[in-house]
Structure 1
């Protein structure tokens, strides 16, 4: 089990799974995405870019996704990012299994990048901030991810 403050920390792990409903995390003001709406690549990018209010120029590939998720300069007044994927077992289910693995790697890389401040004397400078992703699954005992993802306990 993890303590409540894990989602306020900049340290990893940055990716968790849970069987909780999203309302358990309401105090963290989560960005909520539906895995049911993310079964194909086109739908996957549409759902993410809609919920993150991504610019129109955002490309539909993993490199562009990582760039968008590590920028987010258009989302103001956030002290942390908690991203909650409902029905995560359905994410990219209609694509090859390695697609989901690639997405999980991006979520971890994005969390890691947000854990470091940007100090270049530019308009895009920012402090280190927490960026955590929670994958909601119906049964934690089911092995629906291509690798181990830590379970987050009651918060």
Structure 2
């Protein structure tokens, strides 16, 4: 009999019977909230268990299908070769490295075309009015901010 009494008291909690003037008791709000959390986390736990079981199933299935590979014969380990002597190019500072990279790019371009180019001078680019942002930065900014 107590069950029927509880259901009769809970009847206003059903949306179909509410006309908008009833106040939902605080305990009803807490009960609905906790039930929602419990359902969501229970579903999450079930989903995690399902995915991990599927992973184990497919892992065991792939291990069964692979035949055992014959082990490679062991080879004698040779001593490591001595390091090469330090080249003079390794002592370049940053500016010299940039110049070397520019010259190498121009040389590669000339080799591809079958012509010879000579670098006469390299000058640093003057900062623009907008600031000292590199060209690649400005190109990315322009690509990402133009309308589709």
TM over 0.5: no
Between Structure 1 and Structure 2, the one with more helix by share is 2
Could you tell me the TM-score, scaled by structure 2's length?
0.19
- Provide TM-score, normalisation by structure 1: 0.18
Q: Which has the higher contact order (CA 8 A, sep 6+)?
A: 1
> Would you tell me which structure has more strand in proportion to its own residues?
1
